[in-house]
Every structure is written in C-alpha cells, then in structure tokens.
Structure 1
Amino acid sequence: MTTGSAKDAARAVDDHPALDYVARAGLVAFGIVHLVMGWLIVQLALGDRENSADSAGAVRELAQQPFGEALVWAVGVGMVLLALWQVVEAAVGHRQDDGAARVRKRLTSLGKVVLYSVIAATAFKVVTGSGSSGGNGTESLSAKLMNLPGGQVLVGLVAIGIAVVGGYLIHKGATERFLKDIEAGGASGRVGSAYVWLGKIGYIAKGAAVLAVAALFAYAAITHEPDKSGGIDEALRTVLDQPFGSVATAVVGLGFAAFGLFCFAWARHIDR
C-alpha cells in the first residue's frame, strides 16, 4: 500500500461514524477512572494514606469492588479504544486546523496515546495478577535523568514541560475551550450548564494537580534530590502537609470527580 492510499484509509477511518462509538466507550472508561481517583483523593484528605491516589490506585481500588475483575477489564478495553481514537487523530486528525496548530494538536493526541496506553497496561496487569503496588515510576525517571550529563537541567526541563501541561489544563477549563469537544446542544439548558461547570471545575483541578507534580520535579532539580519528585499521589501528599492542605486536597478530589462526570457528558455529546 502506498503512503497516499494509507493516509486515505486512515482518513476514512477518522470520518467513519463507528469511531464515535469507540471514543464514547473510551471516555466512559476515562470517566470511571477519574471518579475513583476523586474518591481516593478525598479519602487521602480525610486521613487515609494507605491507598495511592492516582490512576494506578484507582484501577486497584476498582478491582476490589464487587464484579471488580469485570470492571477493570472494561476500563482496560475502554482505554485501549481511547488510545486507538487518538492514534487516528495523531495520524490524520485535526484537519480543520492548519500549520502549527494542526501539528501541535496532533502531537497532543500522540501524548494522549501514551497516557491512555499506560492506564490500559496498568488495568491489564492488575486483572491478570501481574501488577505491582510498589514502585515510583516518576522517581525512577528523575533518578535516571539526574545521572545523565546535565541531569539537573534535564529534570528542570521536565518540570517546565509538566508545568506547561498543568497551565494549559487550567486555561482550558477557565476559558471553556473544552466546549469545542462537545456538540453545541450539549452545553445548552440547565443540564448543559451543569456539564459546563463540571468541565471547568474538572480541568482546573487536574491542572492544579499537574502543577503540583511540576513543583516536585522543580524541587528535585534544584536540590539534586531525585527522590523528591513524584506523580500526582506524591504531589497531593506534599500538599496535604501544608497549612489548609486537607481542604485543598479535598477540593482537588472533588474536581477530579467532576471531571469524571464531565467525561460521561462528553461521551454523550462528543463532537469530533
């Protein structure tokens, strides 16, 4: 198959209505993960420090519920479908944009492929019994980077990159740019207004959590201590130790839950 015909085939897939159902199934799974994360974060704020308040912890929490194995399988499959949708978007999507905007959005889709694939892999590891509750992947990453020439600079650049993502999520929520992803009718009326508020709160809360992760990486870079970095769970535990930390952490947890509910609305009113 030639490059041209391959692109034509990919565009045909992107335009096919069936891809809407793939995306919807994936968004429902993503929503479930965020709802459970929200619950775990609120529990963390209330003093439960035993569970990990991140996507891996959410998957493990799901596995412990009635019909947990089926739920985790469903989440894993849903995240694979979400990743497949973003693969198509990264390859031939965002055709309504031109130039740098299209390249930026396709690269963003590629980044989402990695994120969704990681959650899917975690789900499948948990459900097959090969998952491990230990280990800190972000700490290992920062330690490896720190051992390279110019390691502190590299970790600092990672911190800046993560901060950019966090800032973008907050901006997307505050300016309601996420409304471009749902049908106009989905944001109308009282129910639509509720969807909008769920999206605003959810994106801003996620952005705040990501900025906290960026702060940990920045601190690790400045102090040359890679063990000071970490993911969302570690960042929220650091926030928890600050004045009014339990309140701030609980608010973030409610925000993650709001984003999970928004994902359900997004799935219902998706506009690709």
Structure 2
Amino acid sequence: MSGLSAGTDRSRGQRAGAGSSSSAAGRMAQNSVFERFARAGFVMTGIVHLIIGYIAIRIALGGPGGNADHSGAMAELASKPGGVIIMWIGVFAFLLMGLWRLAEAVFGSASKPDAGSTKSEAFRRVKAVALAVIYFSFALSAFGFARGSGKSSSAQSTGMTGRLMQNTAGKVALVVAGSIIIGVGGYHVYKGISRKFLKDLEGSTGDLVRRLGMAGYIAKGLAVAAIGVLVILAVGHAQPDKAAGLDGALKTLGAQPYGVILLIVAGLGIITYGLYSFVMARQAKM
C-alpha cells in the first residue's frame, strides 16, 4: 500500500509540475504587451524576406548588387529614411520572439497540448530552441545595423567555414551541419506540400492563405536546403567561399543555365514567404 501511495503521489506531482509549466507558458503568452511585440517579430521577418526577394530579383535583372540574405536586407533597410528606427524596433521584436520560442522550449506550448508521444514533444521543443537561436541572431544582427556597425552574414559564414576547414574535426562538423540544414529545408518543403503549417494558425483560413503558405514554405525550404548543399560542397572542394549562406545559394542559382529565370522565381518565392509571415503575425497560435 505504501508503494501504491508513493506512486500516486509521484503521479500527482508530475501532473502538478506539468500544469505549473503549462500555466507559466500560458501567463507569458497571454501577456498582451509580450504577445504584441512577439507577433511584431513575424512582421519584421516578413519585411526582411520581402527585401531579400527584391534584392534577388534585382540581381537577376542586372541591377545594383547587394547581399541577398537577412544582413543585406537589414543593411538596405537601415540605409533608408527612418530605417534605423525600424532596426531598433526589430531588435526588440526579434528578441521577444526569441524569448517566446525559448519559453516554448522550456515550458511547452501554451496554445498546443503536449504531443502524444515523447519523441514528438522532444522534436517540438528542439525546434523551438532552434527558432529561438535564429531569432536571437536576427536581434543581434539588427542591433549591429541599428548602431551602424552591421556586418555581412555571408562574409561571417565564409570566415567561420574557413576556420573549421583547417582540421578534420571541423570538416566533420561542417558536413553534419550541412546535412542538418538540408533536413531543415526538406522539413519546410514537406510542411508546405502537406499543409501542416495550417495547424500553427488560429481561426479559419482562405484559399489565399493556403496558397501563400504552400508556396512560401516550399520556396524557403528549397533555399535553406541549397545552403546545406553548398556547405558540404565547400568542404569537398576545400573552398570556404562556397559556403556563403543564403546569398551564396541564390547567386549560385543565378549562375546556372536559365539562372535569371530561376533567380526571379526564387526571389518571388521568398517574397511569398514574407507575405505569409504577415499572416502569421495575425493568426499564429501563441
């Protein structure tokens, strides 16, 4: 009987712990100020992707160059009238979005019950950590451009790749990282084709939202996967300059036969993802 009582107490304690974690996440998500700024992170993400797509199309048409990645988009935005103010807003929006994802990783999602299996819940939380890291990096990049000291992410990626390629362990790490990036890109494509992104939204969705989500996720996934492929190719050919992130992936695409058309299509796809980010700002489950 004492063993049964102890087991019951442990079960109750686990449920209480889960409940307190869920309520902690719920209190954070339900804070109106926190939620507005976190949703503003989606808006800033959308703006950045619109500019990346625009730069890619501009390069394809032979216009002024630039980096077709988030740092290039932020540099272009910061150079416009009022751009520095937008960058400061972006710092806080990206930071709070990162904190929201971090809370989701620690406490679980407030808007989604725990997954039925341990593996599914672990995957969800690992994904939340990865997204938190991405948004924190965006916040750091936006902070640099707001202060006038922003740096090219493609140059940083190339430099880091070059350092890692100086030893065998670094090369292995790069191949593993490239494989993971390809997997992330593949997941985006799958999410777009299967329409699983609709589960992340509240309320009803029309045909326009579904089409934006499908096209946006597929385009984003292909672009991300291309980054991973270039990382692996950079290791194989001992050419760190090949691993230049999204900018390098898009410019490599533009150098292929029919590259102008391919780059325009890729740019339009990234713009579509940017438009869908505005939908997430309004309808994403928080």
Asked if 1:206 corresponds to 2:220, the answer is yes
Change (3 A) 1:14 1:223: same
Equivalences for residues 229-240 of structure 1 within 5 A: 229-240=243-254
Q: Deviations over 1:194-232 (max 9, x none)?
A: 111111111111111112111211211222332322200
Q: Distance in 1 between matches of 2:238 and 2:67?
A: 25
Query: Residue 172 of structure 1 aligns to which amino acid in structure 2?
Result: K
Asked if 1:165 corresponds to 2:184, the answer is yes
| Corresponding residue number in structure 2 for 1:117 | 136
| Corresponding residue number in structure 2 for 1:90 | 105
Q: Distance in 2 between matches of 1:179 and 1:88?
A: 22
Query: Residue 216 of structure 1 aligns to which amino acid in structure 2?
Result: L
| Corresponding residue number in structure 1 for 2:271 | 257
Q: Deviations over 1:167-218 (max 9, x none)?
A: 1111111111110111241x1xxxx211111111111111111121112112
Q: CA deviation at 1:126?
A: 0.9
Change (3 A) 1:173 1:57: same
Q: Distance in 2 between matches of 1:266 and 1:57?
A: 23
Q: CA deviation at 1:247?
A: 1.0
Q: CA deviation at 1:135?
A: 6.3
Q: Distance in 1 between matches of 2:157 and 2:36?
A: 33
Asked if 1:57 corresponds to 2:72, the answer is yes
Q: Is the 8 A contact 2:161 2:240 kept in 1?
A: yes
Q: CA deviation at 1:240?
A: 0.7
Q: Distance in 2 between matches of 1:72 and 1:130?
A: 12
Name the SS for the 1:96 alignment partner. Answer: coil
> Given the two structures, how large is their TM-score scaled by the length of structure 2?
0.85
Give % identity. 35
Q: CA deviation at 1:268?
A: 1.3
Higher alpha-carbon deviation: 7-16 or 115-124: 7-16
| Corresponding residue number in structure 1 for 2:57 | 42
| Corresponding residue number in structure 1 for 2:149 | 130
| Corresponding residue number in structure 2 for 1:142 | 161
Matched residue count: 264
Query: Residue 261 of structure 2 aligns to which amino acid in structure 1?
Result: V
Query: Residue 270 of structure 2 aligns to which amino acid in structure 1?
Result: F
Q: Is the 8 A contact 2:29 2:35 kept in 1?
A: no
Q: Distance in 2 between matches of 1:62 and 1:37?
A: 11
| Corresponding residue number in structure 1 for 2:280 | 266
Q: Distance in 1 between matches of 2:28 and 2:92?
A: 19
Query: Residue 233 of structure 1 aligns to which amino acid in structure 2?
Result: D
Query: Residue 128 of structure 1 aligns to which amino acid in structure 2?
Result: R
- Larger of the two Rg values belongs to structure: 2
| Corresponding residue number in structure 1 for 2:173 | 154
Q: Is the 8 A contact 2:92 2:139 kept in 1?
A: yes
Q: Is the 8 A contact 1:10 1:92 kept in 2?
A: yes
Query: Residue 114 of structure 2 aligns to which amino acid in structure 1?
Result: Q
| Corresponding residue number in structure 1 for 2:121 | 102
Higher alpha-carbon deviation: 25-34 or 150-159: 150-159
Return the match for 1:25 from 21, 33, 40: 40
Q: Which 5+ residue runs of structure 2 have no aligned equivalent? A: 1-16
Q: Deviations over 1:43-63 (max 9, x none)?
A: 121123521110011111111
Name the SS for the 2:126 alignment partner. Answer: helix
